[in-house]
A and B are shown apart, each in its own frame.
Chain A
Amino acid sequence: MVDTFHHLMAGFAAAATPTNLMFAFIGCFLGTLIGVLPGIGPAAGTAILIPLTFQLDATGAIIMLAAIYYGAMYGGTITSVLINVPGEAASVITCIDGHAMAKKGRAGAALGIAAIGSFIGGVVATVLLVLVATPLSRLALSFGPPEFFALMIVGLVLVTSLAGSSLLAGVLMTITGLLISLIGLDPVRGAPRFTFGIPELFDGLGFIPVVMGLFGVGEILATAEKPYREVIKTNLRGLIPSREEWNRSMGAIWRGTGIGFFLGLIPGVGAIIPTFMSYIVEKRLSKHPEQFGTGVIEGVAGPETANNSYANGAMVPLLTLGIPSSPTIAVLMGAFIINGLAPGPLLFQERPDLVWAVIASFFIGNVLLLILNLPLVGLWAKILEIPYQYICAGTLLFCIIGAYSINQSIFDLWVMLGCGVIGYLMRKLSFPLAPLVLGLILGPQIEKSMRTSLEMSAGDFSIFVTRPLSASLLALAIAILVFAAMQFAPKEIRDPNAD
């Protein structure tokens, strides 16, 4: 422990040199920019910048690329809140309450709490990384395909909490999401499903085009109905979360930190699921779940904390085992390798100077992000004062670039437009969109992990219940389902007129 402390202090000394501080700052700035700009997600953004780091020394290069990664996690929030378009995938859920807050003139508070939550989540996750990285690295390995399957089933049954007031509508939307996610080559045999011979469909519908359509384009069509709305005024007081908003957010921030860090330890979960889990947990625990979707601050604070905490938690399997948890981390690992460093247990022994400098830079980076973003919150909120017509045209162009650039594909644009029209209609009919998105994320994970498990067991289904962790997670899923059924069923049978 004393040893760890010494290493960390040495790391701070190395990371706090003016050069490395500058790299951390450039990284945070570029990351925020990448998060805000359409068409460049954190994975592509980091990959594009790798060649630029060849001129730098390894420590500086990695500090900068890591800063880009968590900077992008924050940047994606800004567009979600302001124009209802997720700048990167992990900010989808923030659209729901974040944009609703913006419409109520609370964009500043939403962005402010996201910055603060991200800061707390990032710093606490890094503390945990320092203290318990090595013991926890075994946890990542204990989640094999059967456990992963069970975990995803737990996620799926939790969707009942996202359903809004009609459980049926919510579940129907989930099933639709799951079905859409099955379009493409089947994950085991490689057989095309529901592709109608269109090669662009072989990889399924792209997640970004779908959510940009459902949220961004759908929102534009909905607001086009009444375009002469007043410009949203944000006064200075609106930039700071109120005392009440603070109180409501603190619990969400701590829980988001825990959820993000824990899920970050399990490779393959990805950055989106933790945000959904945090949102669901907040809605479950809330005394007024019916307000979710109308712009409650917990719905922003929780998920935004979770995605930053996830970003730092996902460093654990990378640094201790050399296993990347997500595509962006894989790029980061590529950056390590191409600079002649092999992430994994040996790196701590061979280059402790570098590892600890990078870890220390996570702390510094999170502080820089806060300093960089809080003053900008007011500036971002001002964007909403631009006349509606220009925002509308700009947002649509933003969506076009964003959906197109992922795969340089015109086909993705058609997908986006189709989803935009569906999103618009669903909005008018008050069908919930979040369950559909969750189905979309969970579908491939569930099928792939189930069928890989069966490949492992040569078709024996007992693999799911004979492994203790998998069995307990499945039991938990059943318990949640029974609980949800009890909660919904009597109300709708006994008192159909209930609100």
Chain B
Amino acid sequence: MRLRRLAMAVTAVALVAALGSAGASAQEYPTRPINMIVSFPAGGSTDIGARVVAGIAEKILGQPIVVVNRGGAGGQVGWTELSRAKPDGYTIGFLNLPATNTTILDPERQAIFNEGSFTPIANQVLDPGVVWVAANSPFKTFKDVLDAAKAKPGTIRAATTGILSDDHLAILMVEEASPGANFRVVHLLGGAAQMKETLGGNIDVSFDNVGGIVPQVKSGQVRALAVMDTERSKFLPDVPTTKELGLPTVISSSTRGIGGPKGMDPAVVKKLQDVFAQAMKDPDHVKRLEDAGLAIKIMVGAEYEKYYAETHEKAKKYTEWAKNRPQK
């Protein structure tokens, strides 16, 4: 009997102690740890970027930022979670443009969130698209690739890193900008599979992002033919841009930024913007990401919102095409 009373006392003390630490006002935000949803499994480049910035930002913020990997369905599971979260600032997450947009736009995906479901906070990385081939490929320039795709339409095997990825949209942009060129599109699951099949000669030309191939370009295993941007990438200074090559409409990239559910308190958003902008300028953050070949592009507030809206419009057109394009 005495044991039972002791047991009850221990329980009560523990519960009171724990409850006492809860429930503080929104003015002192943040008062407890913040969850940061990454919609891809641990170890992907979004995840690594998130862990680097979270590690620095939590020191500025004074509360732990816990990276929560909610992988699945090409990011859809994580974004669903983020859009449903309480907009109290304790759940934020990574938006990957244009993957977030194409998920919304593809009717087959039945996404329960839309372009208005998120509050853009701060962009971290803008990784331009790149066209590349294996080092032993007969294609020396991007023009060689296009000529081949025009000479024998539907025979040049072009790999994406996934259906409706930014790389998939980029192939459509190339086909649109150079009439007559037509690729045999092969969807591979991710950059590692693409690297393996291209080096192994099962793929003729690959579409990916600069960050995915910088190490292999340096080691001479692959050759980058064009960067799909208006200015040259500082990681591949010798590679011409699509703009230089006369394809100014072929501009494609993958960006990663921090966002929250819609309806967040503007004061909280402002605080997060300041904290993350500061963290992203931290020399350690800059060095880590640049070593990985990821170009930092900090966009906050109106700038990021504008970029978000523009990406959505652009993705709309190409997603429709992708769904209707007959496979040759």
| Interface of A toward B, CB cutoff 8 Å | 43-44, 46-48, 50-51, 54, 140-145, 184-185, 187-192, 197, 199-200, 202-203, 267-268, 317, 321-324, 327-328, 330-331, 334, 337-340, 342-347, 407-409, 448, 452, 455-456, 458
Given contacts A338-B292, A407-B70, contact A47 B42 (CB under 8 A): yes
Cβ contact within 8 Å between B200 and A142: yes
- Total CB contacts across the A-B interface at under 8 A: 168
Contacting A345 at CB < 8 Å: which of B47, B73, B192, B219? B219
Stretch at the interface among B7-15, B106-114, B169-177, B246-254: B106-114
> What CA separation (Å) do A48 and B52 show in the bound complex?
10
CB distance from B65 to the nearest CB of A (A): 11
**Residue of B43, B54, B192 with most chain A CB atoms under a 10 A cut-off:** B43
Contact with A along B155-177 (1 / 0, CB 8 A): 10100000110000000000000
Given contacts A455-B186, A458-B328, contact A323 B195 (CB under 8 A): yes
Given contacts A190-B74, A202-B73, A345-B219, contact A144 B202 (CB under 8 A): yes
User: Known pairs A190-B74, A268-B193. 19 more at Cβ < 8 A?
Assistant: A44-B41, A44-B42, A47-B48, A51-B54, A51-B55, A144-B202, A184-B73, A187-B189, A199-B77, A199-B112, A203-B77, A268-B196, A321-B195, A323-B195, A327-B43, A337-B293, A338-B52, A340-B291, A452-B186
Cβ contact within 8 Å between A456 and B219: no
B268 beta carbon closer than 8 Å to chain A: no
> What CA separation (Å) do A200 and B80 show in the bound complex?
9
Cβ contact within 8 Å between A455 and B187: yes
B230 beta carbon closer than 8 Å to chain A: no
**Can you list 21 A-B contacts (CB < 8 A)?**
A43-B42, A47-B51, A54-B284, A142-B200, A190-B74, A192-B109, A199-B73, A199-B77, A199-B111, A202-B76, A203-B77, A268-B196, A321-B195, A324-B192, A330-B192, A337-B292, A407-B69, A452-B187, A455-B184, A456-B202, A458-B184
State which residues 55-88 of B face A: CB under 8 Å.
55, 67-74, 76-77, 80-81
10 closest Cβ pairs, A-B complex: A342-B215, A203-B72, A331-B43, A346-B219, A202-B73, A141-B200, A47-B42, A144-B202, A344-B219, A340-B291
Contacts of B184 in A (CB 8 A): 455-456, 458
Contacts of B185 in A (CB 8 A): 455
Cβ contact within 8 Å between B221 and A345: yes
CB distance from A135 to the nearest CB of B (A): 16
Given contacts A47-B51, A50-B51, A344-B221, contact A200 B77 (CB under 8 A): yes
Cβ contact within 8 Å between A43 and B200: no
> What CA separation (Å) do A334 and B44 show in the bound complex?
8
Q: Interface range on chain B: under 10, 10 to 19, 20 to 34, or 35 or more? A: 35 or more
B278 beta carbon closer than 8 Å to chain A: no
Cβ contact within 8 Å between B163 and A189: yes
Cβ contact within 8 Å between B48 and A190: no
Cβ contact within 8 Å between A330 and B74: no
> What CA separation (Å) do A142 and B197 show in the bound complex?
9
Given contacts A142-B200, A199-B76, A323-B196, contact A190 B109 (CB under 8 A): yes
- Closest residue of chain A to B203 (Cβ to Cβ) is A456
> What CA separation (Å) do A184 and B81 show in the bound complex?
17
Given contacts A47-B43, A203-B77, contact A188 B112 (CB under 8 A): no
> What CA separation (Å) do A185 and B106 show in the bound complex?
13
Cβ contact within 8 Å between B187 and A330: no
B45 beta carbon closer than 8 Å to chain A: yes
Contacts of B43 in A (CB 8 A): 43-44, 46-47, 327-328, 330-331, 334
Contacts of B68 in A (CB 8 A): 408
> What CA separation (Å) do A375 and B84 show in the bound complex?
49
Cβ contact within 8 Å between B189 and A197: no
**Residue of B47, B52, B164, B284 with most chain A CB atoms under a 10 A cut-off:** B47
Cβ contact within 8 Å between B197 and A144: yes
Cβ contact within 8 Å between B189 and A346: no
Cβ contact within 8 Å between A322 and B189: no
B137 beta carbon closer than 8 Å to chain A: no
Given contacts A144-B200, A268-B193, A334-B48, contact A191 B108 (CB under 8 A): yes
> What CA separation (Å) do A184 and B52 show in the bound complex?
31
Specify the main secondary structure of chain A where it touches its partner: helix
Cβ contact within 8 Å between B192 and A458: no
> What CA separation (Å) do A322 and B81 show in the bound complex?
34
CB distance from A412 to the nearest CB of B (A): 10
Cβ contact within 8 Å between A448 and B189: yes
Contact with A along B187-211 (1 / 0, CB 8 A): 1110011011101111100000000
Given contacts A51-B52, A144-B202, contact A197 B215 (CB under 8 A): no
> What CA separation (Å) do A191 and B73 show in the bound complex?
11
Cβ contact within 8 Å between B48 and A203: no
- Closest residue of chain A to B109 (Cβ to Cβ) is A190
Cβ contact within 8 Å between B192 and A202: no
Cβ contact within 8 Å between B196 and A330: no
Contacts of B221 in A (CB 8 A): 321-322, 344-345
Given contacts A342-B219, A346-B219, A407-B70, contact A141 B199 (CB under 8 A): yes
CB distance from A41 to the nearest CB of B (A): 8
Contacts of B199 in A (CB 8 A): 141, 321, 323
Cβ contact within 8 Å between B72 and A407: yes
Contacts of B200 in A (CB 8 A): 140-144
- Closest residue of chain B to A203 (Cβ to Cβ) is B72
- Closest residue of chain A to B221 (Cβ to Cβ) is A344
Cβ contact within 8 Å between A342 and B328: no
Cβ contact within 8 Å between A48 and B196: no
B218 beta carbon closer than 8 Å to chain A: yes
Contacts of B41 in A (CB 8 A): 43-44, 327
> What CA separation (Å) do A245 and B81 show in the bound complex?
51
Cβ contact within 8 Å between A190 and B163: yes
Cβ contact within 8 Å between B80 and A344: no
Cβ contact within 8 Å between A47 and B47: yes
> What CA separation (Å) do A338 and B54 show in the bound complex?
15
B179 beta carbon closer than 8 Å to chain A: no
Contacts of A190 in B (CB 8 A): 74, 106, 108-109, 163-164
**Residue of A199, A321, A342, A455 with most chain B CB atoms under a 10 A cut-off:** A199
CB distance from B110 to the nearest CB of A (A): 6
Cβ contact within 8 Å between B76 and A407: no
Cβ contact within 8 Å between A145 and B202: yes
Cβ contact within 8 Å between A347 and B219: yes
> What CA separation (Å) do A161 and B48 show in the bound complex?
42
> What CA separation (Å) do A44 and B185 show in the bound complex?
32
> What CA separation (Å) do A141 and B201 show in the bound complex?
8
Contacts of B193 in A (CB 8 A): 267-268
Cβ contact within 8 Å between B328 and A334: no
Given contacts A43-B42, A199-B73, A408-B70, contact A338 B48 (CB under 8 A): yes
Cβ contact within 8 Å between A188 and B163: yes
> What CA separation (Å) do A317 and B110 show in the bound complex?
38
- Closest residue of chain A to B328 (Cβ to Cβ) is A458
